[in-house]
Structure 1
């Protein structure tokens, strides 16, 4: 049963800023990329500020831009380009320019090839600006003829793609901030929001269907009704609170305190983030890719996700991903657990808020 979670004492909310960037503490080595060496003053930036600069440069560079990411150690924005003129534009803006081989158009074409020729359950793919490649990941369920087919398609893409394996199994984390319950299923509350002046909260779409009632305890009285749920394709849902249930704009840190959430933002590759969920509580990690596609099987394919190194387990679904006081994402699914690690995917909060016409609060 695809259901999400609902919080008891405090509604979970999180924050962050999203832009297409990848991995912190990275080395600038790549078989198909080279650093620009001309001396220019680099701007010292926070991850959110780097994301804002990256969005601006994406518009300025057009087809000559090929993605960007945040180097947390240097506190700098690294921008991939395919021409020296574009590199100069990046330097003048205070970023670090890196001339690479693959254009965004070529990598987008590679994504389409995967979608057309290798739509295999248990796979995911996302553009990695650090390697300037499309990284395709197959979980442990992909084997035999399907694995052979996947390898052939990826190899056919040449230097534009690479194939990796993960020991776990990609699946939605059904079964966190605070726990929410519906019909025997448990998920986690993501963030408290306001729509049309009324209190609501958002969680994962795979947690339940429109019309389902949610409580803050197993078998407890309903505190809200799910008024919209989108899954697959997207993975977010909106629940309207009943009565006078408390709905603070904060995330439960499970140590007796809470993180206040003031706004929503986009993720940036390399951004340090924190997840709160009702099964595994609070864990940290970093954003490794944006616009990821995951095939959970049974026709459940979700696109446009944030990929991270933060662990999660069943029951954490719908829980908050934040960066300081900024809401960034809602827990969707992934592989592994909080003992072995794995890849975890999150629905961007900004897209959910825009779709629902809601705001953090």
Structure 2
């Protein structure tokens, strides 16, 4: 169920509102010199690097080097996924070495991986097999109630298994044991892991900015345009009930919700920006600056990622798992990406980025401690036939 703390519109802190106001002023089209633009981009980059350094326990210099390594790793993963085909067993970024690790089911093909500059690992099961096993659990969940203590599951390329997460201390309860027995019968690739909290959606035009609909406060994801050039932004589906009237951070009318998915297809929605007073820009708030969106190339597991939301601001972490199914108090949501970034109620719908690449839309997080879940952005753009606004 949606977190109750996020169902009431709250007044933001003065600093957050000022930052959003500055973005809105920029969106209105006030001209600036090239020098000022360059200075702004540098300030935004420094803000991002310092946030990464703080949340990942490193230095801004090392964070900059890591971003460069991750960009290279993302390109290499895309290349090897295509060339290895059915033998591809997944990939992840190793922060310690700064290199991409690629798993393959055929040991004879490890040379292709090392030739591309990555580290090779031999695995028993391909990524396709892992995803099929995970899909079988999704089908099981669609046909039976999932215990509240089972928080979700995902295909884990690092361990070459499908991980089912259960609230710590609850693995021996009768309902959980029944579910795990069925899961093990469904797939022999299942591995059980205990976690410290359940997941929840986090309720509450530049990415991360505040908006409200139906008395609920959420965060803007990314600016987009329809096939006809119409202005939109994408956000969380649990925020965008059909036909809702949307208001911006300042209470001014912004537009109408025009799409909402919250269930086994994912957690995403869109808003038509119909007011002429709002412009869609390729920006994401980093509080107090903005980050320019350049594209939407997906990063591998292990890569750094930062998220923006009006409630907790700009926070960074690492990608832990992809294609994760989550139990939101009985609502089963599939195909989310899990990260270690901190988040709060009110951040739902906000933007996740890695460098200048859009990664996804914030969906939720744990009821205690840090962690975040996002809906991959490219799936949203494809579902609605939208193109990302980039700079």
- TM class, shorter-chain normalised? 0.7 to 0.9
- Superimposed CA distance per residue, residues 213-242 of structure 1 (whole angstroms, 9 cap, x where no aligned partner): 111248x33211111222222211111211
Deviation at 1:109, TM superposition (A): 4.3
Deviates more, 1:109-118 or 1:234-243: 109-118
User: Are 2:302 and 1:274 aligned?
Assistant: no
Distance 1:263 1:113 in 2: 33
Q: Partner residue of 2:105?
A: 82
Contact 2:246 2:257 in 1 (8 A): yes
Distance 1:105 1:203 in 2: 29
When residues 107 and 333 of structure 1 are mapped into structure 2, their CA distance, relative to the original with a 3 A threshold, is: same
Distance 1:137 1:55 in 2: 28
* 1:158-169 alignment runs, 5 A limit: 160-169=189-198
Deviation at 1:258, TM superposition (A): 1.4
Deviation at 1:186, TM superposition (A): 0.7
Q: Partner residue of 1:48?
A: 71
Deviation at 1:151, TM superposition (A): 3.7
Q: Partner residue of 1:38?
A: none
CA RMSD of aligned residues (A): 3.1
| Matched position secondary structure for 2:266 | coil
Contact 1:45 1:75 in 2 (8 A): no
User: Are 2:221 and 1:190 aligned?
Assistant: yes
* 1:281-296 alignment runs, 5 A limit: 281-296=313-328
Deviation at 1:88, TM superposition (A): 2.1
| Matched position secondary structure for 1:231 | strand
Distance 1:158 1:116 in 2: 12
Distance 1:290 1:169 in 2: 18
User: Are 2:278 and 1:245 aligned?
Assistant: yes
- Superimposed CA distance per residue, residues 118-140 of structure 1 (whole angstroms, 9 cap, x where no aligned partner): 66144211122222221211246
> 5+ residue gaps in structure 2?
10-16, 28-43, 45-55, 58-66
User: Are 2:210 and 1:179 aligned?
Assistant: yes
Distance 2:130 2:356 in 1: 33
Q: Partner residue of 2:293?
A: 261
TM-score (norm 2): 0.75
Distance 1:317 1:230 in 2: 14
When residues 116 and 197 of structure 1 are mapped into structure 2, their CA distance, relative to the original with a 3 A threshold, is: closer
| Matched position secondary structure for 1:114 | helix
TM-score (norm 1): 0.80
Distance 1:359 1:153 in 2: 41
Q: Partner residue of 1:302?
A: 333
Deviates more, 1:349-358 or 1:116-125: 116-125
Distance 2:305 2:138 in 1: 29
| Matched position secondary structure for 2:108 | helix
When residues 130 and 152 of structure 1 are mapped into structure 2, their CA distance, relative to the original with a 3 A threshold, is: same
User: Are 2:181 and 1:152 aligned?
Assistant: yes
- Superimposed CA distance per residue, residues 273-296 of structure 1 (whole angstroms, 9 cap, x where no aligned partner): 111111111111001111111122
For CA contacts below 8 A with separation 6 or more, give which structure has more relative contact order: 1
Distance 2:187 2:337 in 1: 25
- Superimposed CA distance per residue, residues 78-109 of structure 1 (whole angstroms, 9 cap, x where no aligned partner): 11112221212222322211112333354234
| Matched position secondary structure for 1:262 | coil
When residues 162 and 211 of structure 1 are mapped into structure 2, their CA distance, relative to the original with a 3 A threshold, is: same
Distance 1:315 1:45 in 2: 31
User: Are 2:363 and 1:332 aligned?
Assistant: yes
Q: Partner residue of 1:41?
A: none
Distance 2:247 2:140 in 1: 43
Contact 1:71 1:77 in 2 (8 A): yes
